[in-house]
Structure 1
Amino acid sequence: MDSLNRDQVENEVMMLETSKEGSKFYSYVKYVYDSTMTATFKQANMKSQTNFDFTGLKNAKVKFSVTKKYPNFSTILRTEIGSTDLLLESKDKLVWKITPEKDEILGYKVQKATTKWEGRNWIAWFATALPIQDGPYRFFGLPGLILKLEDAKGDHQFNIIAIKKSDEILNQKINFGKSPTEILVSEEKFRNLWADYKKDPAKDFRQTLNSNTKLSVSVTFDGKTYNGDEMARQIEKEGRESIISTNNFIELNLYK
């Protein structure tokens, strides 16, 4: 969200999948995007294809995902800076204050609770009839599932739209480990990487491009084809635009 243009509200469908082992919170749009990209590149490798057409493929606004491991609720934030996949692990507990106010959401009786976390004051509504001490993003620890969550300024809101019980996990097995491409970082290291990215958003892409000078790659988005150098310039342009417009993060303290 752009704090300078608060009238421009952005929405995205998110999924919170829970199991006996833990939970995963992620963008459904990103799930579709990643699945399509993976299938396309897998097929391309089989055919030695170097031109890719992703016209019409919707990109996600929300890139991060969060996993929580039960019962201690160790939390892993999976996010990215440029093309670098990062993991931030936390075992911190949120300190909630449960208040008397009550309401109803999707037919469930809910109660209000508040907490201060990562530079914001948060308001949550939880349902004791759903005995899952979980919620959206990195929030948990109330005596019931969090059905609504927002910060006091209304910059970020999480509103439940449906609840479904299923034996089939959409995003397959919840991964609590680290993949070979992911880097586990501290908050301090994350801030340093963020500062470097703001200086040159296309740095990672250029390094990848220059590492294999024999490979000629072209990519088509929305009917327009880019070669490697054009793609680098486009990534830098879009990166700088995103840095300017995306300035109101959920965790204010993380992007200082």
Structure 2
Amino acid sequence: MKRTVFLFLFLSGLFFYAQNQRIAYEYKYKIDSTDKDKTETELMLLDITPKGSKFYSKDYFESDSLMTTTIEKQAKSGNIDLNFSGFKFKGKIRYSVEKAYPAYSVNFFTTLGSDEYMVQDDRVQSWKILPEKEKTGNFTTQKATCTFAGRKWTAWFITDLPVQDGPYKFHGLPGLIAKIEDEGRTHTFELKGIKKLPDTYDWESKKNKKRYNPLITLNETKYKKAFNDFRSDPMKSERQMMAEGIVIDDSGKPVDPEKSRRDEEKKMKDKIKRENNPLELDLLK
């Protein structure tokens, strides 16, 4: 079945360009540079529509949608004490990337602690297209390289699918990116499947999502400062919530503020210590 889908789209580039499509990528990454043997894997989706694209984790999106539905159902029932006991988010990748066509303007959505950010990224990816070609799945792809976010990247793109898009923030090549990896091969995205979405499909930007706290909008430079401030003091926003007496556990029940602070601070600092190989390496510089 997968072979049929690939072949059909390979022969129908213009059809592909005009339709709503979902591209599945396998993302393999090493988040801890000191642990060379441990590789994480996540299935990522790139939804392409005539007006733009959205890139996100399949598992996390499904968990987030389920959580939203649960909240709405409990709210409609008149229950003000929301109960999330037993609920566990799937997926390790919590960010998403939106690109608006035809300018391919990039918005990066992520969280640092309890704060949610929309980062407007105007950096240009200057690609060098090379003559080498290879097979990726059922497609013939062409090689290209660029330096972006502190890393050297090698991409293989499909000229027969004339969409200048790809996984994460990558775009600008004359064809869909089928595979891209950094020089050290610690971050790799590889196309695993394509399917047509219904003509009625129309995703809504995450910036329009209902939220309890305001979305913080920053440019890339200011986000870099916020990122490093968070790494230095990951409990800052939580301390502010504790000062307001807002401390709950995963089930929504109140807990001892001081114990919660100590436990969470240790947990977060250990996690940050391990996350020393982010995709955007220049965030640490």
TM-score with structure 1 length normalisation?
A: 0.87
Compute the displacement of 1:242 (Å): 1.3
Cα deviations across residues 80-129 of structure 1 (Å, max 9, x unaligned)?
Answer: 11111112212333111111111112211111111111111100000011
Match of 2:42, SS state, is: coil
Compute the displacement of 1:164 (Å): 0.7
Contact 2:133/2:141 (8 A) holds in 1: yes
Match of 2:92, SS state, is: coil
Counterpart of 2:85? 53
Task: List aligned pairs for 1:156-195, cutoff 5 A.
Answer: 156-167=187-198, 173-175=203-205, 177=207, 181-195=214-228
Distance 1:32 1:44, change over 3 A: same
Compute the displacement of 1:5 (Å): 0.6
Compute the displacement of 1:33 (Å): 1.9
Counterpart of 2:273? 244
> Which amino acid in 2 is paired with 1:243?
I
Identity between Structure 1 and Structure 2 (%): 35
Match of 1:138, SS state, is: coil
Distance 1:168 1:40, change over 3 A: farther
Compute the displacement of 1:231 (Å): 4.1
Q: How many residues align?
A: 249
Counterpart of 2:140? 109
Distance 1:54 1:36, change over 3 A: farther
Counterpart of 2:121? 90
Unaligned runs of 5+ in 1: none
Task: List aligned pairs for 1:37-76, cutoff 5 A.
Answer: 37-45=67-75, 46-55=78-87, 57-76=88-107
Compute the displacement of 1:168 (Å): 6.2
CA distance in 2, matches of 1:115, 1:25: 20
Compute the displacement of 1:226 (Å): 7.1
CA distance in 2, matches of 1:247, 1:125: 27
CA distance in 1, matches of 2:150, 2:34: 18
Distance 1:234 1:35, change over 3 A: farther
Q: Give me the CA root mean square deviation.
A: 2.4
> Which amino acid in 2 is paired with 1:137?
Y
Contact 1:219/1:227 (8 A) holds in 2: no
CA distance in 1, matches of 2:71, 2:231: 29
Distance 1:228 1:30, change over 3 A: farther
Match of 1:16, SS state, is: strand
CA distance in 1, matches of 2:260, 2:205: 32
Q: 1:205 aligns with which of 235, 238, 251?
A: 238
CA distance in 2, matches of 1:168, 1:31: 21
TM-score with structure 2 length normalisation?
A: 0.79
Unaligned runs of 5+ in 2: 1-30
Distance 1:156 1:113, change over 3 A: same
CA distance in 2, matches of 1:208, 1:175: 28
> Which amino acid in 2 is paired with 1:132?
V
